Structure 1
Amino acid sequence: MKPSDSNRVHSLAYAQRMNKVLDHIDRHLDQALDLPVLAEVAHFSAFHFHRLFAAWTGETLGDYLRRRRLEVAAVHLANNPRRPVLDVALAVGFGSGEAFARAFKLRFGCTPSAWREQTPQRWADELQAVRAVARDSNLGQADSKPGQAASGPFNHPENSSNQEPSMEVKLNTLPGARVAYLRHTGPYGPSVGRFWAETFFPWRAAQGLGHAPCYGIGHDDPSVGDPAKFRYDACVEVPADYVAKSPAGITDLPGGRYAVAAFYGTGADISLAWTEFLRDWLPASGLEPDGRPCYEYYPADGRYDPATGAFECQLCLPVRAR
């Protein structure tokens, strides 16, 4: 093995172990996350772990924990309007409402209550901005490739620029799934599509999993946080005895009640679809999301049009009654 190949193997192994730590943190934000415990999760010595974590993430462990707790809290405050602020603070690991309020204002420039009150206007602004980008993108595609404009569910001829598209959503009880994943870190959008095509699909084929259903999991709300730190997992369903090798990780997607929206369109369309789902459909549904991850489900026999790049999937949003 060449030295460069050896370095790459070691780097991927480190990424696998560090991603395991980040997953553990997200699942245990309400608990004390001490350095020795997290070092054990990564199978590093506590003496070296803090320096390795900072080098890999670009943040100290303390800064990372504070950021994740506040970003998750911001999402909970927006999505669960009836949940007391103190409950949100405790759920992400703050010991008191006062400490949470101070940290939140330092991070977001307003109190938790003000953030919640501003949510409807913030979401309306986000919807308007995303729709404008989608309209401009579709016009550009139509000009450059006549007859091959994006063919997503929000671009039918009957959907004019002054007519809001509708979304057909069903409430289903979905089974859980065991998946292997590769993680992309960085902004959502075109780079995620390239990650699927250039990294994930070749890896999946090499694992002999080319005919298994796939899932896509975005761990971060695009309206909160730094896009450079967003995490997206491209996943494939695996049997119970599957053993993940570097750089892949293993996780279990929980089953339960989900709101499910059928999607057929391009990579450019799916951002608008998720924004419509979360910012438009959800607030009017009488439901609220719970702590399970949202994900895209790609059936093994899903449609794909190589001429337009349009594909089929289901957008799955975990919900519960308010």
Structure 2
Amino acid sequence: MPIPIHTDDDARTRYAKRFEAVLAYIEANLEGDLSVDALSRIANFSKFHFHRQFASYVGVPVARYVQLMRLRQAARRLASREPCSVFDAALEAGFESPEAFSRAFKRVFGTAPSEFRQRPSWQIWSAFFVVPYFSRKLTMQVQIVDFSEVRVAALEHRGPPGLLNESVRKFIDWRKRSGQAPVASTRTFGIPYGNPDTMPADDFRFDLCAEIDAPLEPNAQGVRELVIAGGRCAVVRHSGSTDHIGETIYPIYRDWLPASGEELRDHPLFFHYLSVYPETPQHEWQTDIYIPLV
């Protein structure tokens, strides 16, 4: 009987899949048991070596990674316009007490949770959230493609990013009622005009877009027709909630672009949403980020 031959690439792929399962588990269970014992069982690794394997693969110790993920969730919760107390944010993020949460939050953000809720600063978060795993993965997955222009129906959102979901619901309702851009059978895009992490919240503008193949009918919702220009683009896929999409975008500009020799086109980046909302859980969402190039 022939003996199967396993290449180094096969072994690396299997190894990576085990860690991808661990990272997905952490993302989906931030309120649960994320001890080394629990996570080593998910990965099917020895608990005596798991913390070293994790730090080597991801770039930070497992306890640090879990804390950053929990703080990220709490920060997003506090910055949303839905009522959320510091106590609730602490418990939902898996901290044992509001005091422990506040100490960890201030150590990372340099401000108290209550102050961050009043004046969210994602620029500070981006400076502290440095996990080598994300930059390494992005560098390997950036592709350059020729994007064909597409006609879309667009609803403009203006105002705080935390209120974007209200515009999403309004746009989905228009799509269902109009029948011009069925949710399940046409491509969905998003176009941010500016960086929500650095611009005043009230100045933020974002177009919610759906592909159309017929003239747009007049409507009371303010949905208009526009064209997403075609051309060369760098593309990278973001996995998980779009609340954290900035963590995928920043390394493109910081690491990939300077080393690529490419030049940016004078056109905003845009997103192609590959998952259907709300049928797909947020931690399983897939979104392609297009960076227009000359």
How high is the TM-score relative to the length of structure 2? 0.51
- Counterpart check, 1:200 vs 2:143: no
Q: 1:237 aligns with which of 195, 200, 211?
A: 211
- What are the within-5 Å matches in structure 2 for residues 168-317 of structure 1? 168-188=141-161, 190-196=162-168, 198-208=169-179, 209-211=182-184, 212-222=186-196, 225-246=199-220, 247-299=222-274, 305-306=280-281, 308=282, 310-317=284-291
Cα offset, 1:283, TM superposition:
2.6
Letter in 1 for 2:290: C
For the 8 Å contact 1:298–1:314, the answer to whether it is kept is yes
Could you say which structure has the greater relative contact order, defined with CA pairs below 8 angstroms and 6 or more residues apart? 1
Q: Distance in 2 between matches of 1:252 and 1:283?
A: 29
For the 8 Å contact 1:267–1:310, the answer to whether it is kept is no
Q: Distance in 1 between matches of 2:72 and 2:234?
A: 28
For the 8 Å contact 2:236–2:288, the answer to whether it is kept is yes
Partner of 1:137: 72
After superposition, the CA RMSD in angstroms is: 3.2
Cα offset, 1:218, TM superposition:
0.4
Cα offset, 1:210, TM superposition:
2.1
- Counterpart check, 1:163 vs 2:129: no
Q: Distance in 2 between matches of 1:133 and 1:217?
A: 28
Cα offset, 1:193, TM superposition:
3.1
Letter in 2 for 1:280: D
Deviations 1:164-214 (A, max 9, x none): 4131111000110001111111133x3223421x21111111121223111
For the 8 Å contact 1:178–1:250, the answer to whether it is kept is yes
Deviations 1:235-265 (A, max 9, x none): 1011143334341111111111000111221
For the 8 Å contact 2:152–2:210, the answer to whether it is kept is yes
Partner of 1:78: none
Q: Distance in 2 between matches of 1:318 and 1:238?
A: 22
Deviations 1:113-139 (A, max 9, x none): xxxxxxxxxxxxxxxxxxx97662158
Q: Distance in 1 between matches of 2:235 and 2:245?
A: 14
Q: Distance in 2 between matches of 1:291 and 1:161?
A: 28
For the 8 Å contact 1:177–1:253, the answer to whether it is kept is yes
Q: Secondary structure at the match of 1:137?
A: helix
Q: Secondary structure at the match of 2:216?
A: coil
Q: Distance in 1 between matches of 2:90 and 2:146?
A: 39
The alignment-based identity, stated in percent, is 25
Aligned length in residues:
173
Q: Distance in 1 between matches of 2:280 and 2:90?
A: 17
Q: Secondary structure at the match of 1:288?
A: coil
Deviations 1:13-58 (A, max 9, x none): xxxxxxxxxxxxxxxxxxxxxxxxxxxxxxxxxxxxxxxxxxxxxx
Q: Secondary structure at the match of 1:200?
A: helix
Cα offset, 1:224, TM superposition:
5.5
Unaligned runs of 5+ in 1: 1-131, 147-159
Cα gap change, 1:220 to 1:162, in 2 (>3 Å): closer
For the 8 Å contact 1:173–1:255, the answer to whether it is kept is yes
